[in-house]
Structure 1
Amino acid sequence: MKYQSRKKALILLSDGTIFYGKSVGDKEGTAFGEVCFNTGMTGYQEIFTDPSYFGQLMVTTNAHIGNYGTNKDEVESDSVKISGLICRNFSYEYSRPIADSSLEDFLNDNNLFAISDVDTRALVNYIRDNGAMNAVISSRVDDIDGLKEELSKVPSMEGLELSSKVSTKQPYFYGDENATHKIAALDIGIKKNILRNLAKRGAYIKVFPYNTPFEQLADWNPDAYFISNGPGDPEPLTDAIATAKEIIKTNKPLFGICLGHQVIALANGVSTYKMHNGHRGINHPILNLLTGKGEITSQNHGFAINKKETETHPDLEITHVHLNDDTVAGIRMKNKDVFSVQYHPEASPGPHDADYLFDDFFSLIEKTSKQTVEV
C-alpha cells in the first residue's frame, strides 16, 4: 500500500464531536467549511469542481473514491471548489483507460487537503440527525483547543453570499456565434455542462458576472435568459434578485436551475430557508405534477423555497415536488414564460430523466421568437 505511515487526522464538528481518520498521502493540512455528504456512486470529479459546493467539506458516502482516476474533460469549472474531502477508502491507483491522472495528483494540483479511513457511515448518520454544520478537518490531532478556536470564527452558511467567489469576473461567450438563438446567462456559480446543454440545442450564450445589472444583459438583445446554479444562501444575492425581477417584466423566456430557482422565487416574493442537511446526490426522486411521472434526479442544495408561500402565490404554480420530504422542486409562473427547478437536469454523470427541461426551454424560445416575427 502506498504511504505506509500516513498521518493521523480528524474531523471536528462545531458542536465538539470528533471523528478520526488519516490524511490522504503524506500531507499535513487543515481545512474549514460546512460539512455535507453526497450519496452519488460515481461523479466525484464533477462534484469536487461544481461551484455550488464552494465552501463545503465533502463527505462521500460511496466506500471507494479515486478508483477510476480523473480526466481533464470531466470538470464543471476550472478548479476544485470544495474546501476539503472526507472519505472511507481512498484509491491511490486507478484502472480506467481514459483517465489521465490519479485522484491524488488531481487533488494535489489543486492544493486540496483530504482525509480517508473515516467511519463515513457514522459521520453521515450524525449529520442526518443533527444537521449540516461547520467543521474542520486537520492533521493537527494534538491541537483540539486551537482548532475549536479557529472553527468558532468560520461564518455560518446561512446568510453567506458566495456567488462572488465563483462567478466569472468578465462576460464571455460560449457556443457557436451563428447559432439560432441568443441566451444571456447570469453566472452565480454556473456548471460547464449547463452551457454544453444550451449550446448543443442551438444557442449562443453570453455569460455575465453575478452582479450584472439587467440593462447590460438586455443590451445584448438576447432571445431568452438563464440564471445558474451556485453556492451559499440565495437571500444576500440582492443584485441577482433585482435582475431577475426585471427579466420577468420583459416577457422573454427565463429558466433557472438550483440557486437560480431560488433567486426566481425570491424575485416573486417567496422566501427561502436553510434545510436540515440538504439534498446532495444523483438518486433523488421527483414527481412531475404536470405529467404525473416520476424522475430520478441529481441534486445539490442546502436551501429551499417556502412551500406554503408558493402554494398561495397568485402568479406561481408548483410543478415538481421532492418525494422524500415534499419540498418544492420546481415552479413556473402562470402568465409568463418563466420556470425553474431545484435539481440538475444537466447532470453528468448522473440520471438523464430531466433532459426534457432544456427542450421545454427551447420550445418557449421558439414560441416567443415566432410571435415576435408575426408581430
Structure 2
Amino acid sequence: MKKAYLLLADGTLFEGTAVGYEGQSIGEVVFNTGMAGYQEVLTDPSYYGQVVTMTYPLIGNYGINFDDYESRKSWVSGFIMREMCEYPSNWRCKVTLDEYLKAQKVVGLAGIDTRRLTRKLRGEGVMNGVIYTEGFEPDEQTIAEMKAYVVKDAVKTVTCDENIVYPADGETKYRIALFDYGVKYNIERELCKRGCEVTVVPAYTKPEDVVGKYDGVMLSNGPGDPAENVEIVANLKELLKSDMPIFGICLGHQLLALAIDAKTTKLKYGHRGVNHPVKDIDADRTYITSQNHGYAVVGESVDPQIARVRYVNLNDGTVEGLEHIGRPVFTVQYHPEVCPGPMDTSYLFDKFIENIEKSKGGAQ
C-alpha cells in the first residue's frame, strides 16, 4: 500500500497509509470525538474546508449506506483515522469507506497516532495542514498556500442554487422556509414529520421573498466564519422586524446573534462530537448534545434587552443558545436533529411548532 502524509503548518509531519483518493489537499485540521457517525461527518457541509481527524481508533466498521447522508456529497478536504476497517459488517452497508472516499475524491490517511495529533490540536489550537499521498508531495508554493489558507466563501459554496420543496409527512399544517447555509437532511426530516412543508431556500434569499409567504423560518447549520456573511446578516436584521417565528441552529444561531449586533469569536479547537453537555438555564437540566462548530457567540456582547443566553456549555461555559425577548425567536449552537441522547433535544422542533401556532392565534 502507498504511504500518505499530513504536514502541519508548524512543520510537524505524520506518516501513515494512503486510503481513499490519491492526491493532495489543503485544509484546516480539526478533530471529531464521535465513536460513530463518520458517514454523517463526511457529508455534513459544516466541515467544508477542513481535514477531519476521527479520534475513535476504528473507523469504517459498518461501511457506508445510502440512507444516512446529510447532504448530496462529501465536503471534507481530507479524512484521517487511526485504523480503517477494510471489511465492514452491517446489513445496511452498500460500499466500504475506502470506496466512498475514492468516489468522492477525498484524500485519506490511516495508521497515524491520532491521539498525538489530537493532543497537539487541543494544546496549540486547530491549524492548517496539507494531506497528501506518496507521489503528490507539496512544493514550496503549496506549503506557502497551506500556511496562508483561510476557509472563505464557505456558505456561498455549499448553499443550494434554487428553492427545493419537501412535502409534509401526511397533511400539511405549516409552510417553513429553511435557509440553506449548509443544511443537513435531518433538519428537513424533523420538520416534515411534524406536518411541515419545507422549502429549502438559498442562503442569500431576500426577506421580502419569505415574509408573508411562510409560517416560520429555520436557519440551518453551515461552515466558515459567521462574521464573513455580511449580506446574510443584513437580511436577517430585516427579517427580525417581521416577528415571524424563527429557529436557528449552529451557524444559523451565530448569524442571528450577529444580526442583533452581538459578537462571535473563534474557539481554540472547536466543539466536534456527540457528547457535549449543555445546560438549559431555565429548566436547570443538562442535555448531551451533538456539536460541530469552530466559532461561538460572545455572551457578554448580547444585549439583554434584545435576547438572553438560555443554554450554556458545561465544559467551557460558552454560549449554546439564545432566546429573544418578546419575540418568537430562539437559537441553539448544538444540533437537535442529531440523536446522541438519542432524542434528548428534538423537543426544540416542537417548541418551534408551538411558536408558529401561537403566532397564528392557536390555529392548527
Task: Give the Cα separation in 2 of the matches to 1:10 and 1:333.
Answer: 47
Q: CA deviation at 1:197?
A: 0.3
Deviations 1:127-153 (A, max 9, x none): 000101111111247946534234234
Taking the aligned partners of 1:29 and 1:351, their CA distance within structure 2 comes to 38
- What runs of 5+ residues in structure 1 fail to find an aligned partner? 1-5
Q: Distance in 2 between matches of 1:111 and 1:134?
A: 20
Give distance in 2, aligned partners of 1:194 and 1:139: 36
State the match for 2:357 in structure 1.
366
Q: Deviations over 1:207-250 (max 9, x none)?
A: 1111111111226x111111110000111212221222122111
CA separation in 1, counterparts of 2:26 and 2:341? 28
SS of residue matched to 2:68 = coil
Give me the CA root mean square deviation. Answer: 1.8
1:271 corresponding residue in structure 2: 263
Kindly provide the amino acid, as one letter, of the partner of residue 68 in structure 1.
Answer: Y
What per-residue deviation string (whole Å, max 9, x for no partner) do you get for residues 181-228 of structure 1?
A: 011111111000000001101111111111111111226x11111111
Q: What is the TM-score with the length of structure 1 in the denominator?
A: 0.93
Structure-2 separation of matches of 1:245 and 1:70: 41
Q: 1:130 aligns with which of 102, 121, 124?
A: 124
Where does structure 2 lack aligned partners over 5 or more consecutive residues? none
Q: Distance in 2 between matches of 1:58 and 1:350?
A: 23
Displacement of 1:10: 1.3
Mapped pair 1:34 → 2:34: no
1:352 maps to 343
- Could you give the per-residue CA deviations for residues 23-48 of structure 1, whole angstroms, max 9, x where no partner exists? 016x5311111000000001100110
Mapped pair 1:324 → 2:318: no
Deviation of 1:352 after TM superposition, in Å, equals: 2.1
Q: 1:19 aligns with which of 6, 9, 14?
A: 14
Residue aligning to 1:283: 275
Q: Is the 8 A contact 2:107 2:133 kept in 1?
A: no
Correspondence for 1:233 among 225, 234, 238: 225
Contact 1:43 1:350 in 2 (8 A): no
- Percent same amino acid at aligned positions? 41
State how far apart, in whole Å, the 1-side matches of 2:301 and 2:112 are. 41
How far, CA to CA, are the matches of 1:350 and 1:279 in structure 2? 17
Partner SS state of residue 74, structure 2: coil
Is the Cα contact below 8 Å between 1:197 and 1:358 reproduced in 2? yes
Distance 1:309 1:149, change over 3 A: closer
What does 1:75-86 correspond to in 2, within 5 Å?
Answer: 75-86=69-80
Once residues 133 and 199 of structure 2 are traced to their aligned partners in structure 1, the CA distance between those partners, rounded to angstroms, is: 43
**Counterpart of 1:214?**
207
Which one is further off, 177-186 or 49-58? 177-186
Residue 355 of structure 1 aligns with an amino acid whose one-letter code is S
Report SS of the residue matched to 1:235: helix
Q: Distance in 1 between matches of 2:307 and 2:144?
A: 45
1:17, distance to aligned residue in structure 2 (A): 1.6
CA distance in 2 between partners of 1:290 and 1:80 (Å): 38
Cross-structure match for 2:55: 61
CA distance in 1, matches of 2:360, 2:210: 18
How far does the alpha carbon of each residue in 1:89-118 deviate from its partner, in whole angstroms, 9 at most, with x for none?
011111101111111111111111101001
Paired letter, 2:357: E
Q: Aligned-pair distance for 1:170?
A: 0.6
Match of 1:169 among 129, 150, 161: 161
Alpha-carbon separation, structure 1, partners of 2:194 and 2:57: 37
Deviation at 1:75, TM superposition (A): 0.3
Match of residue 285 from structure 2: 293
Equivalent positions of 1:170-185 (< 5 A) are 170-176=162-168, 178-185=171-178
Distance (Å, rounded) in 2 between the aligned partners of 1:247 and 1:185:
13
TM-score normalised by length of structure 2: 0.95
Q: 1:245-274 CA deviation, whole Å, 9 max, x = no partner?
A: 122111120000000000110000001111
Kept in 2, the 8 Å contact 1:224–1:365? The answer is yes
Q: Is the 8 A contact 1:161 1:233 kept in 2?
A: no
Conserved? CA contact 2:78–2:107, under 8 Å: yes
Where does residue 3 of structure 1 map in the other structure? Answer: none
Kept in 1, the 8 Å contact 2:253–2:331? The answer is yes
The residue aligned with 1:339 is 330
- Report the secondary structure of 2:210's partner residue: helix
May I ask how many residue pairs the two structures share in their alignment?
362
Equivalent position amino acid for 1:184 in 2: A
Whether 1:261 aligns to 2:267 is no
* Cα drift, residue 175 of structure 1: 2.0
